[in-house]
Amino acid sequence: MAPLYLFLLLSPLLAAPAIGADEEVPNRYAVRRAPPGGAGVNAAAQEYLDPTFPLPRPPAAAPHCTVPVLSYSFGDTYGAAPAKASYAPPAGCPAPWSLVVLTFSAYCAGDQYDRVAAVWLDGAELLRTTTAEPTPDGVGWTVRKDVTRYSALLRSPPGGVLSVMLENVVNDKYTGVYSVNVSLEFHGTPPFLSSSPAGGVASNDPEAPPLPDSYFQPADLIIPISDGKGNGKNGFWFRIQNASDSHSKLVTIPSSTYRAVLEVFVSPHSNDEFWYSNPPDIYIKENNLTTPRGNAAYREVVVSVDHRFVGSFVPFPVIYTGGINPLFWQPVTALGAFDLPTYDIELTPFLALLVDSNAHDIGLSVVDGIAEWLVDANLHLWLDPSSSDVHAALGPYQTPRLKLSRHYSTRLLDGKFKIKAKRKSSFSGWVKSSFGNFTTEVETELKATSYVEFANEGRNKTVSLEVKQETKTLIRADTRRVIGKVEKEAKYPLSFFTETEDGENGTSIVTVSLSHGLNVETEFETKGFENKEKLDDQQTAMGWMVVVDHDVVNGSVTTTQTYRFSDEEREYERMIDVMDGAVLSDNVTESFSAMAGIAVV
Ligand SMILES: *[C@@H]1O[C@H](CO)[C@@H](O)[C@H](O)[C@H]1NC(C)=O
Ligand SMILES: *[C@@H]1O[C@H](CO)[C@@H](O)[C@H](O)[C@H]1NC(C)=O
Ligand SMILES: *[C@@H]1O[C@H](CO)[C@@H](O)[C@H](O)[C@H]1NC(C)=O
Ligand SMILES: *[C@@H]1O[C@H](CO)[C@@H](O)[C@H](O)[C@H]1NC(C)=O
Ligand SMILES: *[C@@H]1O[C@H](CO)[C@@H](O)[C@H](O)[C@H]1NC(C)=O
Ligand SMILES: *[C@@H]1O[C@H](CO)[C@@H](O)[C@H](O)[C@H]1NC(C)=O
Ligand SMILES: *[C@@H]1O[C@H](CO)[C@@H](O)[C@H](O)[C@H]1NC(C)=O
Ligand SMILES: *[C@@H]1O[C@H](CO)[C@@H](O)[C@H](O)[C@H]1NC(C)=O
- How many angstroms is it from 282 CA to the middle of ligand 3? 13
d(CA 414, CA 297): 16
Atom of ligand 6 nearest to the CA of 505: 1
Higher pLDDT, 206 or 536: 536
Question: Residues with Cβ within 6 A of ligand 3?
Answer: 287-288, 412
Contact 70, 160 (CB under 8 A): no
Given pLDDT bands bounded at 50, 70 and 90, which one contains residue 348? very high
Mean pLDDT for 83-93 is 94
Each residue's pLDDT tens digit, 64-77: 899 999 999 999 99
**pLDDT at 336 > cutoff 90:** yes
Strands 139-146 and 46-47, sheet pairing: parallel
Q: Which ligand is nearest to the CA of 439?
A: 5
Residue nearest to atom 1 of ligand 6 (CA): 505
Q: What separation, in Å, do the N-terminal and C-terminal C-alpha atoms of the chain show?
A: 51
**pLDDT at 398 > cutoff 60:** yes
Q: Which of 103, 291, 81 is nearest to 186 (CA)?
A: 103
The amino acid that residue 284 corresponds to is I
* Cβ of residue 478 lying under 6 Å from some atom of ligand 5: yes
Residue nearest to atom 8 of ligand 2 (CA): 245
- How many angstroms is it from 493 CA to the middle of ligand 1? 38
**What pLDDT shows up at residue 600?**
31
Contact 255, 390 (CB under 8 A): yes
* Cβ of residue 506 lying under 6 Å from some atom of ligand 6: no
Best of 432, 438, 475, 482 to mutate for ligand 5, by most ligand atoms within 8 A of CB?
A: 432
Q: Which ligand is nearest to the CA of 509?
A: 7
Q: Give just the sign of the alpha carbon dihedral 86, 87, 88, 93.
A: positive
194 membership: H or E segment, kind and range: helix 191-194
Atom of ligand 8 nearest to the CA of 560: 13
Atom of ligand 5 nearest to the CA of 432: 13
**C-alpha neighbours within 13 Å on the C-beta side of residue 540:** 2
Q: Which ligand is nearest to the CA of 457?
A: 4
Mean pLDDT for 561-581 is 95
Contact 81, 167 (CB under 8 A): no
Higher pLDDT, 13 or 115: 115
**What pLDDT shows up at residue 230?**
61
- Those residues whose C-beta lies under 8 Å from the C-beta of residue 428, and which sit 6 or more positions away, are 349, 394, 395, 396, 397, 439, 440, 441, 442
* Cβ of residue 587 lying under 6 Å from some atom of ligand 8: yes
- How many angstroms is it from 592 CA to the middle of ligand 2? 53
The partner residues of 225 in beta bridges, in order of sequence, read: 377
Instruction: Give the burial class of 414: count Cβ atoms within 10 A of its Cβ; 0-12 exposed, 13-18 middle, 19 or more buried.
Output: middle
* Cβ of residue 179 lying under 6 Å from some atom of ligand 1: yes
Given pLDDT bands bounded at 50, 70 and 90, which one contains residue 10? very low
**What pLDDT shows up at residue 219?**
98
354 membership: H or E segment, kind and range: helix 351-354
Q: Indicate the SS3 state at residue 540.
A: strand
d(CA 385, CA 220): 10
Contact 35, 137 (CB under 8 A): yes
- Those residues whose C-beta lies under 8 Å from the C-beta of residue 382, and which sit 6 or more positions away, are 214, 215, 219, 220, 257, 258, 259, 260
Mean pLDDT for 176-191 is 89
**pLDDT at 593 > cutoff 80:** no
The amino acid that residue 206 corresponds to is P
Q: Which of 370, 200, 345, 192 is nearest to 272 (CA)?
A: 370
Each residue's pLDDT tens digit, 184-226: 999 987 655 544 444 334 445 556 788 999 999 999 999 999 9
Each residue's pLDDT tens digit, 272-325: 999 999 999 999 999 999 999 999 999 999 999 999 999 999 999 999 999 999
**pLDDT at 384 > cutoff 60:** yes
d(CA 95, CA 281): 53
Strands 391-398 and 414-433, sheet pairing: antiparallel
